[in-house]
Amino acid sequence: MTSLLPALTGSFSTPAAGNPTGAMVEAAYVHHGIDARYLNCDVAPDDLPAAVAGARAMGWIGFNCSLPHKVAVIEEIDGLARSAELIGAVNCVVRTDQGWLGENTDGQGFLSSLRTVADPAAQRVLILGAGGAARAIAVELALAGADRIWIANRSVGKAEEIATLVDSADGGTTAYALAWDGVLTPPDDATIVVNGTSLGLPGSGPVPVSFEGVAPGLVVCDVIPNPPDTDLLQRARAAGATTLDGRGMLLDQAAINIRLWTGVDPDRTVMGRALDIAIAGWEH
């Protein structure tokens, strides 16, 4: 139940029309009786400073930043949590006594989802792609004690950057960059494969990776949340792998945001139902 003066949260991105996060977050607010609202705002790059200043002036308790603001928002806030500092990008801003604190919950959401099928500690992980999602996932895996990470990308320079970043996280993880040219087969000793590319979205081509002869017990994950059962996951399951879709990552990062803003650890089932309704009408 909201009062006449609810706490305010929301999201700044553009385009923003297809963002289903508000549906999940508001369902959790209602379910837990949290007196807050979540506003999905379309904010152009030049307007980001004014949007953040507006949120500050109106006393918002926090907000999400999605594309294209995840790096630019750092200039507008007062500090960074450790993983956001390492990743160099922020997707969740939290009001604290010290001012606006930038967090990166994309990788944390992935890890929380991964833990439903595997403990990240001591794993040997092949990450496909070297964009923002792959970078956040690599850093969180390193902070969680993964043993080895390979980052494969068609532009190998970006993979090398992430490998250097993982080394600087100083968690004992060894990182290697791989040039991804043609069909890639996961290294024999990989225990987890993560698709962190945008391939798998409707209309994009298949992910050029082969699961033929992979070891039993391999876990294959995708970041694509809609449709969740991607061609990559279907092929991995047919080869005997355990699979994890990107819907869980999206849901868990939203749940972590709510906990950071309100202190309440929300019910994932309630949020999942709202997400499924929202993405049923999601346009690509």
**Catalytic site positions:** 70
The phi-psi region of residue 72 (left if phi > 0; otherwise alpha if psi is between -120 and 50; otherwise beta) is: alpha
Residue of 154, 237, 259, 273 that binds ligand NDP (CB under 6 A): 154
Q: Which of 97, 40, 44, 95 is CA-nearest to residue 72?
A: 44
Choose the stretch contacting ligand NDP; rule: CB under 6 A; options: 5-13, 20-28, 31-39, 132-140. Answer: 132-140
* Closer of 197 and 243 to ligand NDP (Cβ): 197
Q: Does 32 bind ligand NDP (CB under 6 A)?
A: no
Nearest approach, Cβ of residue 70 and ligand NDP (Å): 8
Interacting positions 57-76 with ligand NDP (CB under 6 A): none
* Closer of 191 and 226 to ligand NDP (Cβ): 226
Q: Does 224 bind ligand NDP (CB under 6 A)?
A: yes
Q: Does 92 bind ligand NDP (CB under 6 A)?
A: no
d(C-alpha 241, C-alpha 101), whole Å = 39
Do residues 275 and 250 lie in contact, with contact meaning Cβ atoms separated by under 8 Å? yes
Q: What is the SS3 assignment for 13?
A: strand
Q: Which amino acid would we find at residue 217?
A: G
Q: Does 89 bind ligand NDP (CB under 6 A)?
A: no
Q: In 33-123, which ranges are E strands? A: 36-42, 62-65, 79-80, 92-96, 99-103
Q: Does 130 bind ligand NDP (CB under 6 A)?
A: yes
* Angle, CA 36 vertex, CA 34 and CA 41 arms, to 5°: 145
d(C-alpha 84, C-alpha 225), whole Å = 22
Q: Does 155 bind ligand NDP (CB under 6 A)?
A: yes
Q: Does 185 bind ligand NDP (CB under 6 A)?
A: no
Q: Which amino acid would we find at residue 206?
A: P
Q: Does 249 bind ligand NDP (CB under 6 A)?
A: yes
* Closer of 101 and 256 to ligand NDP (Cβ): 256
d(C-alpha 61, C-alpha 100), whole Å = 9
Go through the chain and tell me how many residues it has.
284
Token digits of residue 279: 């993405």
Nearest approach, Cβ of residue 280 and ligand NDP (Å): 17
Choose the stretch contacting ligand NDP; rule: CB under 6 A; options: 4-12, 14-22, 165-173, 244-252. Answer: 244-252
Q: Does 257 bind ligand NDP (CB under 6 A)?
A: no
Q: Which residue has tokens 């200043």? A: 53
Site residues, ligand NDP (CB under 6 A):
106, 109, 129-134, 153-155, 158, 197-199, 201, 223-225, 246, 249-250, 253
